[in-house]
Structure 1
Amino acid sequence: MENIKLVIPKKSEYLSTIRLTTSALSSINGYNLDDIDDLKVILSEICIFFINNVKKNEKPFEIEYFIEENKLKIEVCDLNDGEITDVSKEKSEMCILIIESLADNYIVDLKNKKICFEKKCIDIE
């Protein structure tokens, strides 16, 4: 298993960097274009959710990629202080529905401001 950690400022301007990194890592590991797009959509939704619902932005995002044979696990953690309120949890429903529909498995830990998901690489020959 290979492990890659991306620590990046918690700003929407850096979403393209996150998406490009995800695209490159998934492409190198054999994912098709549809699955690569799914991964980028999931990550964008998670980051936007944290940007909108954890108001402090002094500390970065930590995005960790765990590359296994035929599987990519990604963990997104907002390192800022601050709670996710009940109103924010209600707003997270759309984010969770998107993750649920595009990822193979996922864990949402809003208390610790961490969302993890995985997507398997299906080799079609």
Structure 2
Amino acid sequence: MNEASSATTALAAAERLFRDGAVGEGEDIAAFLDRFAARLARAYHHGELSYAVCDSIAGDLWALLQGLWLDGVAHRWPALFQQVHEAFDAGAYHARADGSDDPVATYTDPAIAAIVAALDGAN
């Protein structure tokens, strides 16, 4: 698969997550983000979306949530979403100055695996 078709496949998978996880009638943004975070974590864990795509989505939604929170629109902070965001965010920073470590494998992958295991255990 070439880079263009890989990007198209990732975009289609991300679009499915949004379409299938749309905000339900009467659902607050925190509930939506928690539900969406579960879908995002599972999609990453099962190899449906790359780290880069998931990290970007989680970061963009976190920025949106920050704005809503500051504007008084969000009344509750989404705990699961925060965990998933932190798991992806942890993969962005190298612990070694020379960048020879793999923060995604060291931090993100085990954190997402634990989140998915907890979600699957709760179902």
- TM > 0.5 fold call: no
Larger Rg: 2
With structure 2 as the length reference, what TM-score do the two structures score? 0.31
With structure 1 as the length reference, what TM-score do the two structures score? 0.31
